[in-house]
């Protein structure tokens, strides 16, 4: 049984019942549908995987938005202050993600965050080269990507 499809159907039903088929109404319907499906999950075998995966995606998106805000502020401060704190550099990061979609998602996540840019991925997808605006500590950048971004992308894509 497709839990996601049921959730979409519940969101549309909610929007139809309220008489407002708008994006906010669909989002509220999706959230209410998720809550209803979560409460009735014993009736749907395999639904736990759906909810775990949904939670991981929400956590990934929230983490991205947080990093987007923090890195944007860091870049703005560096641009507006007379003393530049940026120490740009290129950092190589060994990758654990193997699928093309995982690598694509990881590289886009990193490139969309201000102050970082993915330059290249080796053909075997084992190493990622990143240009970082604040590359004072390359080991810290590697650790942040490995333990934070890459781990969350792997969890969401499982």
At 1, is the pLDDT very low, low, confident or very high (cuts 50, 70, 90)? low
What's the CA gap between 138 and 156, in Å, rounded?
26
pLDDT, mean of residues 119-124: 92
pLDDT at 9: 94
Give pLDDT, residue 46: 81
pTM above 0.85, yes or no: no
Q: What is the pLDDT of residues 128-144, one digit of tens each?
A: 999 999 988 999 999 99
134 DSSP assignment: B
- Sorted by where each begins, the domain ranges of the chain are 3-45, 49-157
Structure letter (DSSP) for residue 86: -
The pLDDT tens digits of the residues spanning 81-107 come to 888 888 899 999 999 988 889 999 999
Task: Name the residue among 132, 152, 133 with its Cα closest to residue 142.
Answer: 132
Tokens (6 digits) for 112: 């969309």
Q: What is the pLDDT of residues 7-59, one digit of tens each?
A: 999 999 999 999 988 999 999 999 999 999 999 988 888 888 889 988 999 99
Backbone angles phi, psi at 2, to 5 degrees: -90, 100
pLDDT at 10: 94
Instruction: Supply the pLDDT for residue 47.
Output: 84
């Amino acid at each position: 049984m497709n839990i996601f499809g049921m959730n979409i159907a519940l969101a549309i039903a909610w929007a139809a019942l309220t008489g407002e088929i708008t994006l906010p109404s669909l989002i509220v319907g999706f959230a209410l549908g998720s809550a209803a499906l979560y409460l009735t999950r014993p009736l749907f075998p395999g639904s736990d995987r759906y909810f775990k995966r949904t939670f991981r995606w929400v956590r990934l998106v929230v983490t991205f938005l947080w990093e987007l805000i923090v890195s944007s502020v860091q870049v703005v401060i560096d641009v507006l202050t007379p003393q530049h704190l940026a120490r740009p550099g290129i950092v190589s990061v060994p990758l654990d993600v193997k699928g093309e979609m995982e690598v694509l998602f990881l590289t886009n996540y990193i490139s969309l965050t201000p102050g970082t840019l993915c330059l290249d991925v080796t053909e075997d997808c084992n190493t990622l080269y990143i240009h970082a605006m604040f590359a004072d500590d390359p080991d810290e950048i590697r650790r942040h990507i490995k333990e934070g971004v890459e781990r969350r992308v792997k969890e969401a894509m499982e």
